[in-house]
Amino acid sequence: MNTLLVNVQGAVTPECSKTHIAYRFFLAKSGGRMKIDFSYSPKNLEDHARARTLIEQGLDRYIEDELREQAKSKWQSYLPLKNLITLSVDDPSGHRGAAHRHDPEQHLFISGLESSPGLSKGALQAGMWTVTLSLHAIVTDDCRYSLQIWHEEDHG
């Protein structure tokens, strides 16, 4: 039997950069396999004028005075600016890893014997689980994400 545990769509803005969104949910039965479908869009900031402003603001902070103009002249080397949301998983007794990568569409799973890269395999334990979305950077005015978490009870 497949149970849909979390089904959520959300919208975030640049102000949400450097925040976490945690979904805490109850897994009623131990065992089986957890399937996590996660996506967000858009990935890239296509507005290059906006990107240039953000890059120049960044270089003002990160580059020493005497090298700043030279760095700014190469602002295009930082294109495209990207949204980055990563996903991590905690079970009732501890951490089960993270999928820290740039793919804006991820189909992850975790089970007793197998798991997606970044997550650690091991029998699923009934109780409160947490899936955390870490918003490392949101550079587009609007970014939509979608998260579905399933429990596949009969799946090894």
Our finding on whether 67 is near another protein (CB under 8 A) is: yes
Within positions 76 to 115, which residues make up the interface with another protein, using CB under 8 A? 78, 81-82, 84, 86, 88, 94-95, 97-102, 115
Within positions 35 to 64, which residues make up the interface with another protein, using CB under 8 A? 54-55, 58-59, 61-64
Q: For another protein, which residue of 25, 120, 128, 142 counts as binding (CB under 8 A)?
A: 120
Are the beta carbons of 55 and 88 closer than 8 angstroms? no
Q: Least CB distance from residue 106 to another protein, whole Å? A: 12
DSSP H helices, the chain, are 48-62, 65-73
Torsion over CA: 71, 75, 80, 81 (sign): positive
Q: Least CB distance from residue 20 to another protein, whole Å? A: 6
Our finding on whether 74 is near another protein (CB under 8 A) is: no
- In the complex with another protein, the residue whose CB is nearer, 19 or 30, is 19
Question: Closest by alpha carbon to 122, among 31, 6, 12?
Answer: 31
Stretch that binds another protein, among 4-12, 34-42, 74-82, 145-153 (CB under 8 A): 74-82
Q: Is 17 exposed, middle or buried (0-12, 13-18, 19+ CB in 10 A)?
A: middle
> From edge to edge, which strands make up the β-sheet containing 2-12?
2-12, 143-152, 33-41, 105-111
Size of the site for another protein (CB under 8 A): 38
- 102 φ, ψ (degrees, to nearest 5): -85, -10
DSSP 24-49: EEEE-SSSSEEEEEEEEE--B---HH
Interface residues with another protein (CB under 8 A)? 17-18, 20, 54-55, 58-59, 61-64, 67, 71, 78, 81-82, 84, 86, 88, 94-95, 97-102, 115, 117-121, 132, 134, 136-137, 139
